[in-house]
Structure 1
Amino acid sequence: MPGAIYLPEVLYTIADRLETKGAAVLLVGGAVRDMVMGQDVKDYDIEVYGLTTLDELESVLSKFGSVSQVGKHFGIVKLRIGDVEYDFSFPRTERKTGRGHTGFEVEIDGMLDFKEAAHRRDFTINAIGYNIKTYEILDPFGGLNDIRYKILRHIDDSTFIEDPLRVYRAIQFAARFGFDVAENTAVLCKQMVASGVLEELPKERIYEEWKKLLLKAPKPSMGFGLMREWGITEHCFLELHALIDVPQDTKYHPEGDVWTHTMLSIDAMASILNKEEKVESRSCRVLSPDSTTDKHRNEKRALKLLFAELCHDFGKPMTTTVEEGCIKAIGHEKAGIEPTRSFMYRLTEEHDFIESILPLVEHHLKPSQFYKQGAKASAIRRLATKVNIEDLVLVAKADFLGRTTPEAKKGVYEAGEWLLGKAEELKVKNRPIEPILQGRDLIALGMQPSPRFGTILDEVYGLQLDGVISDREGALDHVKRHHCQ
C-alpha cells in the first residue's frame, strides 16, 4: 500500500493539530487491514502516540465536534462529527486478571511504541498501523505477508488465550476473507475449545461473531466447518452437530448427509442475499443519490433467512428412518421447530426474532409441495397467514440449490417462481389478506359484544380465505343469515 491513501479530510487536519503537540497519529486495526485488502472501511480507529494525558487529546478533538467520555477507562475518546463517529485512543497494554471479558487490567501509556501496543491484538492482520502524516505502514508481526498469502495467524499464545472469543473471531475472519488458519493457530483454538474456556463467554458476544460470519462471509460453511473441526459444534451446539452422518435419499440428495446439504444450502442463501443486496444498491442509486436503505431492517431480515436455512433440517436426526434401503424423514419440518428454538435461545434472547424463524422452518417444504399438487388459491391464502411467502420461497430455493441434482445445478427453482406468481396474483406475497369484517361491523348489525365475536369473525375470515366471501356485502349477508336470527 504505497503512498497516501484516502481518509476523511478531517483526520488529516486533526493529525496536523496533534503533530504540533508532538504526537503521532496512526490508523490501526481493521481499518488498515481492510484498506490493504481493497475493501470498504466503515469504522476508523485512531491511536495517538506521544501525549501524556487524555485531557490533551480531548482539548484538540473538542474543536472538531462532540467529544464523549465513554471508554475513557480504556484510553478511548469518541469524536462525533455530524453522523460520523471516530474512536481515538491512547496505546495500552492489557493483562488478564480474572474470568470473562471484563477480567482485564488495562494500562494506558501514550509513550508506548507501536509494536508493544499492537502486541495485545489477536491476529497479525489486525496489528498493522498506518501513519496518517508520513504514509508509513507499521507491520511489526508480518500482517502484510499473511494478507498476501491469505493466512490467519495469531500473534502470541499467552495473550491470545486470554480472551476465548478470539476462537470465534478466527472462525468469522477466516470465512469472511477466505483465509487458511495457520496450523499453530488452529491447534491453539482446538485446545481452547477442549479446555472449556468458551463456556465462560456471554451469549451476546458469541452472537455478534455469528452475525459477522453469516452476514459477511461469502460462504459461511467455511466457518461452520471450522466449528466442527475444532469441536465447537460437539461441545456447544448439539443441534448442528447432530446433522453429521444423517443419511439422505440419494435421488434427492446425491451431495451426501444432512450436514453437507445444510452447508451447501447456507452458502446458497448467502449468495442469494448478496445478489439481492447488489440489485437493491443499484436501484437506490438510480432512484436517488441521497436515498439509503434501512440497514438494520435489511440485516435483520437477512439474519432471519440465514438462520432459518441453517436450522431448516434440524428435525431430520430424530425423524430419519432407513427401511429396506429407503431413507425417509417424514415430518422433519415440524420436528425441527423445538431444536431450532433451543438452538437460537443459546445465541440470543430476542424472542420475536426467534419466533419469526420458526414458521420458515416448519413450512420450508410447502413451495415444492404446493407446486407438485397445483395448490388452490385457498391453500396459498392460508399459508400466507402462517408465514411470509416471499421469505419462505427464498428458504426453499436455497434448500433446493443446496444439492447436487441436475435440476439444482441449473439454478432455477420453478416451484418458487410458480408460488411467488400465484401469491402476487392473490396479493399475499408479503402479508395475508386483511379481514373484511371487524368487531365494529358486528356491533353495527345490532349484536352485543361477546366471546362469540371472535368465533364469528374467524368463521367469516375462513370463508374469505377459501374464496367463498370476497366483499363486505357478502360477509355481512353471511352474518345476518347465520348469526342474527
Structure 2
Amino acid sequence: MIKKVFQFLILKEISITITKIKIPKVLENILIDLQEIGAKPILVGGCIRDHFLNITCKDYDVEIFELNSLEKIQNSLEKFGNVKLVGKSFGVLTLKVDSYDFDFALARTEKKVGLGHQDFKVTTNANLSYKEAALRRDFRINSIGYDFFKDEFLDPFNGIEDLKNKVIKHINDDTFIEDALRVYRAVQFASRFEFAINKKTIDLCQKMVLNDDLKYLAKERIFEEFKKLFLKSNKPSLAFELLRELGVLKYFPELQALISCPQDKEYHPEGDVWIHTLMTLDEMAKIIKKENIQDEYRVLYLFYATLCHDLGKPFCTEIIKNRVTSYKHESLGIEPTKSFLSRLTNEKKFIETILPLVKNHLAPFQLYLDQSSLKAVKRLSLKVNIEDLCLVCLADCLGRDIKDKDKCPKATSWLLEKAKELNIQNTALVPLVQGRDLIKLGFKPSKEFKEILDFALDLQIDENMNKDNILDKIKKFYIMK
C-alpha cells in the first residue's frame, strides 16, 4: 500500500520557472567583498535546489573559485561576523549572521582512499571549472550553481531537468559509490520531496548494500540523515519503505522483524506491524504540523518513539483461538528500542526520553476505557510526560485502517484534560515530602529512606493528604512505633 502511494506521487511533474534567486542582503555584501579580493563565489547545493522547489532557505553554501588563499577569504568574511575554520585541509569556513548560516569552501576535488568518512584525499584547486568541481557532489539536483554577478544558473549535469521530473539521479557512477552515506541521502531526499529515485541510482545503492559498505558509516552521520528526514518530510513512510526495498533494514534487525509480523484484523485491518508502523509515522508528521511543534529535539524523540512503539510485538505475537495477540509488547519493546537507538546515537538522555513513551503507549486508552481516577493519572505522570504520550498514542491509533477513528482523539483528550486539571501534563507530580524533610525529622540517609518516601507519596496520591498530615503519619509509623 505504501509503495502504491509512492508510485502515484512520482507521476506528477513540478513546474520549474527560471527566476532570479533571492538571497539575504548580507550575503550580497559578502559576495561583493569576495569578488573585490579576486575570488569568484558561486552559490551551490541545497540553497539552489530549494529555490526551484520554493522552499524557504536559511543555509547557504558558497564555493570559491579563482582564489586559493583561505587566509584572504577568512579576512574578508570576518568583516561580517565570527568566522570558524571547519577544517584547514578541506578549506571550509563557516559564518553565522542573524538567523542565517553560511558555509564557504574552496573549489576542490575529492578521492576516496579508505573506508572511513574522513578517508578522502581533498585537493583544493582555484582553477577548476564549475563542472569539474561539481563532480564530487552526490545528485544532479544538488549540483546546480548560481553566479550572482552574472545572474546565471550553472547546470552542467541537468539538475534542473531532474527537479522538473521529480527524480533523484546521481552524477557519476565512480564518485557516487565512494560514500555509502549517499544511500541514506537518496532515501531522505526522495521522501522529503516525494521524488522517485532513478533506476541506475537504485542499482548503485543496492550494490553498496550488498557489498556491506554501509557498515563502515559512523552512527552520527546516519542519525543526521534520519534527522533531516523526520524534520522535513511530510511522509516519512516513503523513506522507510525505500530502506526496506534497498535492503538497508539488515542493519536494523529490530525494524526488519516488524515485516510480516501479523496483527489482529479487527484492530489492524491494514496489515502487518511494519505497515502499521509506517502509517503511524505519517500520522505523527500530521500531528506535529497541526500542533505546530517547533522544538526539533522534541519532534525527533516523538518520531523515534512512534517508530519504536511496537518493536516488542515480534517477541510475543502468537495466535490464540484464531486471534492474533501480542500481550506485554509495550514492556517487551524496551530492549529492542535500546538496541535500535544505540545503533544511531550515544546520547543517553535522548534514549531515556523515548523508552517510557514506548513502554506506556497503551496507557491513555487503558485509563480512558477504565475511566480511571485522578490517582492513576498522577501515577502515570511519574513515569512519562503525559502530553508527549498522548501524541504518540494518537499517532498509534490513527495509523491504522479502522473505521471508528473518532475514538482516537477522545481517549487522548480525556487523559490530557485530567492531567491539565492537576497541572502535570508536561511534568511529573512533585512529591510533597522529600529527603530533606526526613532529615529534619531526624532520619539519616539509608535504605529505609526510599520506603518512607514511597509511603509519603502513596498518602499524597491515594489519600490526597497535605504535607503536614503526611509528616504526622511518618512520625507515627516510623518514629513512634
Question: Is the structural similarity TM-score above 0.5?
Answer: yes
Alignment match of 2:279 (pick from 233, 249, 264): 264
Structure-2 separation of matches of 1:265 and 1:80: 36
- Do 2:356 and 2:383's aligned partners in 1 also have CA atoms closer than 8 Å? yes
Structure-2 separation of matches of 1:300 and 1:311: 17
Of 9-18 and 366-375, deviating more is: 9-18
What runs of 5+ residues in structure 1 fail to find an aligned partner? 281-294
Deviation at 1:406, TM superposition (A): 1.0
State the Cα deviation string for residues 443-480 of structure 1 (Å, max 9, x = none): 444555554333212101112121x1421222122123
* Structure 1 match to 2:367: 370
* Structure 1 match to 2:307: 310
Question: RMSD of aligned C-alpha atoms?
Answer: 1.8
Query: Match of 2:146, SS?
Result: strand
Say yes or no: does 1:452 pair with 2:468. no
The one-letter code of the counterpart of 2:474 is V
Q: In structure 2, do the counterparts of structure 1 residues 156 and 360 end up closer, same or farther at CA, with 3 Å as the change threshold?
A: same
* Structure 2 match to 1:276: 291
Structure-2 separation of matches of 1:273 and 1:146: 30
* Structure 2 match to 1:44: 60
What runs of 5+ residues in structure 2 fail to find an aligned partner? 1-16
- Do 2:58 and 2:101's aligned partners in 1 also have CA atoms closer than 8 Å? no
- Do 1:314 and 1:340's aligned partners in 2 also have CA atoms closer than 8 Å? yes
Q: In structure 2, do the counterparts of structure 1 residues 370 and 69 end up closer, same or farther at CA, with 3 Å as the change threshold?
A: closer
Structure-2 separation of matches of 1:77 and 1:355: 35
Deviation at 1:202, TM superposition (A): 1.1
* Structure 2 match to 1:395: 392
The one-letter code of the counterpart of 2:276 is H
Alignment match of 2:431 (pick from 432, 435, 453): 435
Q: In structure 2, do the counterparts of structure 1 residues 242 and 3 end up closer, same or farther at CA, with 3 Å as the change threshold?
A: closer
Alignment match of 2:468 (pick from 449, 469, 473): 473
State the Cα deviation string for residues 124-170 of structure 1 (Å, max 9, x = none): 01000011112100111111111111101111110000000010111
Query: Match of 2:89, SS?
Result: helix
Structure-2 separation of matches of 1:83 and 1:53: 27
- Do 2:141 and 2:168's aligned partners in 1 also have CA atoms closer than 8 Å? yes
Structure-1 separation of matches of 2:19 and 2:318: 63
The one-letter code of the counterpart of 1:436 is L
Say yes or no: does 1:181 pair with 2:197. yes
- Do 1:25 and 1:133's aligned partners in 2 also have CA atoms closer than 8 Å? no
* Structure 1 match to 2:349: 352
Structure-2 separation of matches of 1:450 and 1:329: 41
Of 453-462 and 383-392, deviating more is: 453-462
Structure-2 separation of matches of 1:362 and 1:6: 48
State the Cα deviation string for residues 52-92 of structure 1 (Å, max 9, x = none): 43333234333333333332211223345467542222211
Deviation at 1:249, TM superposition (A): 1.0
* Structure 1 match to 2:323: 326
* Structure 2 match to 1:464: 460
Query: Match of 2:59, SS?
Result: coil
The one-letter code of the counterpart of 2:310 is D
Structure-2 separation of matches of 1:7 and 1:343: 41
Deviation at 1:113, TM superposition (A): 0.8
Which structure 2 residues correspond to residues 332-347 of structure 1 after superposition, within 5 A?
A: 332-347=329-344
Structure-2 separation of matches of 1:67 and 1:40: 24
Structure-2 separation of matches of 1:249 and 1:270: 25
Structure-2 separation of matches of 1:448 and 1:131: 73
Alignment match of 2:411 (pick from 399, 410, 415): 415
- Do 2:381 and 2:424's aligned partners in 1 also have CA atoms closer than 8 Å? yes
State the Cα deviation string for residues 171-212 of structure 1 (Å, max 9, x = none): 111111111111111111111101100001111111111111
Alignment match of 1:120 (pick from 136, 143, 146): 136
Of 35-44 and 223-232, deviating more is: 35-44
Structure-1 separation of matches of 2:19 and 2:315: 59
The one-letter code of the counterpart of 1:425 is E
- Do 1:67 and 1:78's aligned partners in 2 also have CA atoms closer than 8 Å? yes
- Do 1:3 and 1:135's aligned partners in 2 also have CA atoms closer than 8 Å? no
- Do 2:397 and 2:408's aligned partners in 1 also have CA atoms closer than 8 Å? no
Q: In structure 2, do the counterparts of structure 1 residues 453 and 133 end up closer, same or farther at CA, with 3 Å as the change threshold?
A: same
